[in-house]
């Protein structure tokens, strides 16, 4: 039996893996999406289920105004003396040529399900913080150093400082313990102790095609650290034909019987465009780690494998697991499903209600799709290259400034939107808007007149690099609207040196007039497209 990668498909970067007893958890970066710090649970390392989120309240995180792809970077999950620790960065600004405004926080909880505390501020010297609990009772913080100076390398090394758990603050000197290898761009540090050595695992090479995970070790926590002779531990940079590209940033976990595994990020590009539409995903590799020696990937190379050795733990499956999270939501529940996310602000009754019209999700329109503050958009990760998303919406626009519909979304500058609005004559119409690298594109030939009232059904079917929209005014009588669209604009690699998230499909409403307007969604469906082959 083996484990098939990725174990967490779709937008699941920067995995921090942790075992507590017989339970395994992975925390992932969520950037500008709420709720934040997504946590999955497993008992066998093969089957994973979304458990919940650690950061759910305004008091823990305020993302209003954060840049696209800012927000929460590289959380680290740890456990010590019966308490869970979750450390994360809130990156306010990252596209400046020089500066990064990156603030590091710590929250704690008695159980993985919370309640999670309000944050303790730690520092702002760089991103990717993690905690290491030593066997002598002391706890240490490591994070990368951002150096904004003109003549310096911006990735300035890995900082180490002690964290006093009783006083809940950093204490003592700050030491730069590791400047990285020749790969450069050292970040994502995690410390481990084994066989008398401190092992420092870092990410290097940037999170694109040259990404890697490097390893160094020392007899002393503050160094000096010797680089592994056959470094890097993992990379895809040596083989552009690998199914798993961009392999790097990750963390280690030891099983109950002494086996070691490495959870790491990766990307699966759509060829020949070589674009990772689903974003950075989480994969798992078995390690061989003899006593006193360096670890290696169990399959014998330093490139990522699609299949890795199973743990031998009893298999525990879930009714809806990480690889099959889609389902038809008729909004009959009094709570939204865990898979739903919103941008920058929590979902609450002030703009999204399951009670206002029972059996519907009512969404009140707010700011535009370019807003970094108050969008009314609720969406789910796309985890299959062949995905269908559809909804039924009752929406009565009063002006062209009112819009509601179905969206395939990457960020404020890249998305495809099938929306209902009205023209200058008050006629309800359907249209398509694309944002491509920030350029706003409309399709006059795709505008369709709709009945004055009644439910409208909207659907998008994505097959790899293409997306086709459909509509209906009667259930299941789908009519194609517009031409096939370029789905690769939803990829990290589209028109930018680097971006960090992944594709979503969802529902949204915009009110650009200041009047009160809402859309009532009867259902939202997301599934692997039935007429598509597997990828």
Are 507 and 391 in contact, with CB atoms under 8 Å apart?
Answer: yes
Rounded (10°) CA dihedral 289, 290, 292, 294 = -40
Given the DSSP bridges, would you call strands 120-123 and 49-55 parallel, antiparallel or unpaired?
unpaired
- CA-to-CA separations, 425 to 11, 399, 422, 443, in angstroms, rounded: 42, 9, 8, 19
**Residue 182 CB-density burial (10 A; 0-12 exposed, 13-18 middle, 19+ buried):** exposed
Note if 14 is an active site residue: yes
Please give the order of strands across the beta sheet that includes 120-123: 71-80, 83-93, 101-109, 120-123
Q: Residue 103's closest CA among 129, 132, 65, 131?
A: 129
One-character DSSP codes across 114-164: -PPPPPEEEE-S-S--EEEE-TTS-EEEEEEEE---TTS-SEEEEEEEEEE
- The β-bridge relationship of strands 250-254 and 226-227 is unpaired
187 among known catalytic residues: yes
Nearest alpha carbon to residue 488 among 266, 272, 240: 272
Token pair listed for 35:
């709720």
Which letter, b or e, does each residue of 50-61 get, where b requires 16 or more Cβ atoms within 10 Å of its Cβ?
bbbbbbbeeebb
Whether the CB-CB separation of 417 and 410 falls below 8 Å is answered with: no
DSSP 420-456: EEE-TT--EEEEEEEEETTEEEE-GGG-EE--SSS-E
DSSP state of 20: E
Catalytic site residue from 90, 128, 162, 187: 187
Structure tokens at 105: 């926080």
Between CA 431 and CA 444 the distance in angstroms is 8
Looking only at the bridges linking them, the beta strands covering 428-436 and 439-442 are: antiparallel
Whether residue 39 contacts residue 51, with contact meaning beta carbons closer than 8 Å, is answered with yes
Which residues, 6 or more positions from 408, have their beta carbon under 8 angstroms from its beta carbon?
382, 389, 415, 416, 417, 460, 462, 467, 487, 490, 503, 504, 505
Work out the number of other CB atoms within 10 angstroms of the CB of residue 412.
Answer: 18
Q: Which of 14, 281, 329, 411 is catalytic?
A: 14
Tokens for 346, please give them: 């929590």
Query: CA-to-CA distance for 420 and 402, rounded, in angstroms?
Result: 8
Give the Cα separation of 335 and 332 in Å (integer).
Answer: 9
Catalytic residue ranges:
14, 187
């Amino acid at each position: 039996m083996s484990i098939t990668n990725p174990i967490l498909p779709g937008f699941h970067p920067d995995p921090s893996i942790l075992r507590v007893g017989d339970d395994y958890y992975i925390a992932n970066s969520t950037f500008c999406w709420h709720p934040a710090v997504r946590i999955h649970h497993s008992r066998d390392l093969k089957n994973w289920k979304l458990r919940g989120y650690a950061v759910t309240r305004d008091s823990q995180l305020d993302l209003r105004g954060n840049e696209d792809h800012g927000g929460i970077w590289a959380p680290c999950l740890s456990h010590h003396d019966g308490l869970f620790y979750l450390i994360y960065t809130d990156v306010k600004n990252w596209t400046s040529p020089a500066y990064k405004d990156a603030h590091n926080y710590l929250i704690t909880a008695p159980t993985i399900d919370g309640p999670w505390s309000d944050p303790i501020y730690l520092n702002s010297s760089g991103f990717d913080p993690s905690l290491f609990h030593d066997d002598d009772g002391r706890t240490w913080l490591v994070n990368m150093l951002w150096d904004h100076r003109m003549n310096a390398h911006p990735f300035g090394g890995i900082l180490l400082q002690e964290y006093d758990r009783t006083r809940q603050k950093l204490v003592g000197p700050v030491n730069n313990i590791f400047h990285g290898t020749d790969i450069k761009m050292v970040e994502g540090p995690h410390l481990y102790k084994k066989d008398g050595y401190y092992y420092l695992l870092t990410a290097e090479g940037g999170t694109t095609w040259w990404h890697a995970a490097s390893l160094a070790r020392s007899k002393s926590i503050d160094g000096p650290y010797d680089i592994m002779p056959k470094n890097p531990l993992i990379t895809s940079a040596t083989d552009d034909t690998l199914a798993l590209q961009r392999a790097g940033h990750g963390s280690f976990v030891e099983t109950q019987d002494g086996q070691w595994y490495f959870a790491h990020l990766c990307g699966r590009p759509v060829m020949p465009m070589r674009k990772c539409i689903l974003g950075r995903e989480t994969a798992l590799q078995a390690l061989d780690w003899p006593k006193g020696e360096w670890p290696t990937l169990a399959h014998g190379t330093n490139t990522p494998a699609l299949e890795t050795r199973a743990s031998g733990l009893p298999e525990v499956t879930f009714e809806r697991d990480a690889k099959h999270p889609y389902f038809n939501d008729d909004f009959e529940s009094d709570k939204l499903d865990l898979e739903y996310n919103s941008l920058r602000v929590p979902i609450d009754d002030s703009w999204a209600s399951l009670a206002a019209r029972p059996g519907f999700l009512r969404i009140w329109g707010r700011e535009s799709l370019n807003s970094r503050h108050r969008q009314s958009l609720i969406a789910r990760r796309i985890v299959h290259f062949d995905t269908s998303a559809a909804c039924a919406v009752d929406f009565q626009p009063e002006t062209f400034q009112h819009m509601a519909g179905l969206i395939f979304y990457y960020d404020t500058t890249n998305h495809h939107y099938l929306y209902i609005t009205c023209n200058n004559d008050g006629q309800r119409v359907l249209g398509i808007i694309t944002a491509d690298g920030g350029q706003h594109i409309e399709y006059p030939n795709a505008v369709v007149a709709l009945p004055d009232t009644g439910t409208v059904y909207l659907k998008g079917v994505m097959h790899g690099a293409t997306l086709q929209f459909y509509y209906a005014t009667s259930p299941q009588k789908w009519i194609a609207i517009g031409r096939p669209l370029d789905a690769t604009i939803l990829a990290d690699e589209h028109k930018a040196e680097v971006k960090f998230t992944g594709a979503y499909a969802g529902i949204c409403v915009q009110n650009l007039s200041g009047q009160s307007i809402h859309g009532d969604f009867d259902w939202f469906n997301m599934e692997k497209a039935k007429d598509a082959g597997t990828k």
